[in-house]
Structure 1
């Protein structure tokens, strides 16, 4: 899947879907079913000539068994007949889609006139994939990895060096004070850093949770930031980063400055002095857009191979 669709291609697939008029506000709601091992999520979507559904399992006990915490698959359907056309690895798809969403936001929110200083929270698969995707849209001058697992942080730092980031090291949460870009890819349920430290004009991306009672960023950051989301409807239903400050009375429902579709349409941030926070919860339309890109690349490769056969 990574060979068929690069991080940059996934970013463009998402941007194209929004340019073509897809409205994330109308997308079906993610459903969750508790099961003994954790929960099962269903994420259906339809757009144009395609439909599809991702089935995700979240098993908190799996890491202790040496197994992935998140499992799943994606079924891509022909939109006109609903006949299945492809079955994709759901985790590989998520590892391509989620960073692409973040990178699309970063492309519109973060400065493009200089290499950026990055602080990256987390050392799991999403952190690795986010490095790949960020480098598809911005040049990095420095990457600081902050993670609970010191060895995991060192491995991710070594990976960033392999990707050609000039300065790489492990660090602490307080270093967000010097960052142009802060990216949170964790399973944290409480804020990872003091939002008062984030400097004006910096961009923060939080992707780690889709639960109303979990968050990676604190009320101080949310209150002082221009906030962007994939969909107002989804964010105000699922994003603890926003719902907790709202419950505290620190912000109102109108605090969201715009959506990913607004950014793609060219509506730029209004306040250059404010931090920009992009909060992602993950949406089914994103899976569909990237799954179609992967499928079409596979078909194109197959057709090209067939044309060359004798």
Structure 2
């Protein structure tokens, strides 16, 4: 069986944001056409030593088209971990959908961050066709790094890119790894940074909200690619609420929007648009309106990206 390490995945283009954006677009179109699908996640708790909310998840999906893959991503999310490790660790197992033959397993943390950032880029590009000029990335971990990568290459009108983290050292590290981009700077005040941005990418693992109603203003685009950073009153303050997809995961997910739904504060029917609308250019937000996008993370993308990397490895004769 082929097993691809994170370094090999990266060398094969698995962390390439523009290729991930292409995967997200194509897979979303397949999903809309009924040629991709996913089942509900299953999860088991981890030991208390991994954190109060630590769980491991199995995320199955299949994708047709040129991918012809079925698989499952196994990922553990923890709050307590070694400082050199991320909040999640994951591996994706992929089978050929036509024969059932095992293609291999892929170390998936980098793929997850690439597809998450790619989803953000696709959504913002479609729902805000006028473009992004002043962006803010909130966070300092791998998800934030991927969003800085995405903003740098996929937002052509970008003029300034701020980063802010609850841990200032992480923000400085992020800035140092992108030292060749003169648009990037570290923000010291969250309120000021949001006030100066037209688009915010929130990429933390916080379980306590710190984005408040006062942060919402006309014309703001807010992408929540993290966990539970946004208070309920802030979400309902937005003129338009969108997401990558609504599914049974809304009954269990810790994401802010789905917590609001379970608390009775947001009917499912009120979702203005999802990624299928983005890919088909079926919906756009008026420029003066505020827009919230909740990115859950669809497992069809995990399987598509992993299948692409595995097939490239096989085609290249590396295995």
Displacement of 1:295 in angstroms is 2.3
Give 1:89's aligned residue: 107
**TM-score, normalised with respect to structure 1:** 0.86
2:149 aligned counterpart, secondary structure = helix
- Mapping 1:269-284, distance limit 5 Å: 269-284=284-299
1:218 maps to which of 226, 231, 241: 231
Give 2:46's aligned residue: 35
Distance 1:71 1:52, change over 3 A: same
Unaligned runs of 5+ in 1: 210-214
Displacement of 1:234 in angstroms is 4.6
- Mapping 1:42-81, distance limit 5 Å: 42-48=58-64, 49-63=68-82, 66-81=84-99
Deviations 1:85-111 (A, max 9, x none): 121102122122211111111221234
1:63 aligned counterpart, secondary structure = coil
Displacement of 1:61 in angstroms is 2.3
C-alpha distance in 2, partners of 1:131/1:277? 19
Displacement of 1:222 in angstroms is 1.7
1:254 equivalenced with 2:262 (yes/no): no
Distance 1:35 1:236, change over 3 A: closer
Distance 1:242 1:67, change over 3 A: closer
Displacement of 1:226 in angstroms is 1.1
2:272 aligned counterpart, secondary structure = strand
Q: Answer yes or no: is the 8 Å Cα contact 1:86–1:295 preserved in 2.
A: yes
C-alpha distance in 2, partners of 1:116/1:75? 39
Displacement of 1:35 in angstroms is 2.7
Distance 1:200 1:47, change over 3 A: same
1:138 equivalenced with 2:138 (yes/no): no
C-alpha distance in 1, partners of 2:99/2:232? 47
C-alpha distance in 2, partners of 1:184/1:116? 17
- Mapping 1:140-289, distance limit 5 Å: 140-162=158-180, 164-174=181-191, 175-209=193-227, 215-223=228-236, 224-234=238-248, 236-237=250-251, 238=253, 240-246=255-261, 250-289=265-304
Q: Answer yes or no: is the 8 Å Cα contact 2:164–2:186 preserved in 1.
A: no
